[in-house]
Chain A
């Protein structure tokens, strides 16, 4: 497996982490194929899936989608997400969760990159849920 390119990494991070900072990479069309609000919130681009698989392969996060989902759902609900199809609310809750992870040191290393644990879980979930290309 080749290591993640900087461009690929940035695209993946844009899907979840840096949406506000990289508006060009967060266009609605990029997630149009996704049915789940989770994929819409995380992003399902190739770069996201690639990074998600890398997160799983290096053992940074669980490889069970149900467990990943539960971990993220619990975190999002604890940060005010009411469930349902509230995309904006879910996105904000995941962003809050990610920032909190960074601040409290809940981080993982994936090929050297320091990621929030919830962020890595989200990438992994995207990789496992997204329909095969």
Chain B
């Protein structure tokens, strides 16, 4: 059942077995899974059916440290959440990502990847993948496109499967037409209220921008608002527990992680090169499905080198094309296609105008020359695993939103280990390519300035309510329950202790399925 909060009477008390806060990929996966149980489920979404400008302002915040896009530009408050602007790339985290790696402080999940395997299988079905195959050799045989064979004891291929579904559009029928699920739009949670014992959530205070106020009382609650707002909600809810809920050890909001990406090298291939529209580009297979091959570094090599996980993406674009006017033009087009205006529109328009030659050359290459052609030159883009860092964090700032609530302030910080990973990885790619005489790589970064001004991020917010069995080291336990609170759970990438270098959506969907199983058992549901 879909309900607009603006039609709900003031001061209504809504009761449920489980209340899910947030209707993005994590919250909707949870709701969809619980919809088949006998539990009464309420989903609260701050936005509407589609993104609305006024609601989007609730996501505004401040940032410092590394320059990033405005916070509201990276998230969507609407049914489907950020899947409204999702590019759809999916890959499982590596087995090694779950392990404690002594050279990476704070690494290690409370369980191995095997624990998540059955849920990964479900997650692939939820994202509607008909083919689940991460072997580039098989994709090569299937498509007839070649792939590089660098030194296998250094690097290996990593395939991504891509299917950018909108979670609400895909599952609206499953949720809006069942009796036991009520989805409220324009319902912003204003506070998580604890009972006097400080160990149980008693209720949620909910409001709409039009002034409606009501209360939700549930037996269990799941917070699924993304890594910025999950932390913010816990920090804001400080009326009973000073410092916020789950924050006895000052961990809420810390360990914010992203996937920094930047041009790290130029690959010059020998021979006839590789197809520009082959397996290293987004290879479209029809029906909204595509695949892409990237390079990764073996776990044993990363251990020997003492670096974090990393992905090398080969792009037939020239380096200048990836950071100059053509990049700005692509950015504008991408935003408009998603119905958004980039925050730096004027700056990007100026880049396009001042680099018109580059834009025309890039367009010619992309749409005329490089179509079905091969190229000897590829840019190497590195996507690195940012290692956990307690100083990289979300805090509350002095500015307030339309409800009078303090906004989030993101302090994104990288470490020397991140820099070393970024720098060493491209050298290792170069060694692997050179060892098989495939060509040579020119390193485009230096250790002192490894993250150039053109560094982007994946909009992959992770880690701010990290998972750990020890309450002194994590906000939630292995079941995603907030330590010290009996009935509050967290869904989404904010619980990731480490983020590997895989896009987080597939993993957070798998974790949401796992959490749904736990909640069903916990509630004794049929």
Contact = CB atoms under 8 A, between A and B. Distances in A.
A114 B439 contact: no
Given A103-B153, A114-B442, A22 B434 contact: no
Contact of A102 (B270, B376, B431): B431
B440 interface: yes
Which of A14, A18, A21, A102 has the largest number of chain B CB atoms within 10 A? A102
Interface string A84-120: 0000000000010011001101010101111110000
A10 B430 contact: no
Given A10-B270, A21-B437, A105-B431, A111 B442 contact: yes
A9 interface: yes
Contact of B377 (A6, A21, A102, A103): A6
Which of A17, A18, A105 has the largest number of chain B CB atoms within 10 A? A18
Interface in B411-446: 427, 430-432, 434-444
Interface string A12-49: 01100110111000000000000000000000000000
B268 interface: yes
Contacts, number: 69
A14 B443 contact: no
Contacts of B432: 102
B430 A114 contact: yes
A9 B442 CA distance: 11
A103 B268 contact: no
Contacts of A17: 270, 434, 437, 440
Nearest to A110: B442
Given A99-B435, A103-B435, A116-B434, A22 B271 contact: yes
A59 B242 CA distance: 60
Given A21-B270, A22-B271, A112-B442, A103 B154 contact: yes
A114 B434 contact: yes
Interface in B427-475: 427, 430-432, 434-444
B16 interface: no
B240 interface: no
Given A9-B268, A103-B151, A103-B154, A112 B434 contact: no
In the A-B complex, the 4 residue pairs with the smallest Cβ-Cβ separation, listed nearest first, are: A114-B430, A21-B270, A102-B435, A18-B270
Interface of A: 6, 9-10, 13-14, 17-18, 20-22, 95, 98-99, 102-103, 105, 107, 109, 111-116
Interface of B: 151, 153-154, 268, 270-271, 376-377, 427, 430-432, 434-444
Given A18-B437, A102-B432, A115-B434, 15 more contacts: A9-B268, A9-B440, A14-B270, A17-B270, A17-B434, A17-B440, A18-B270, A22-B271, A99-B436, A102-B151, A102-B435, A103-B431, A112-B442, A112-B443, A114-B427
18 contacts: A6-B377, A10-B268, A14-B270, A17-B270, A18-B437, A21-B270, A22-B271, A95-B437, A99-B435, A102-B151, A102-B431, A102-B435, A107-B431, A109-B443, A111-B442, A112-B442, A113-B441, A114-B441
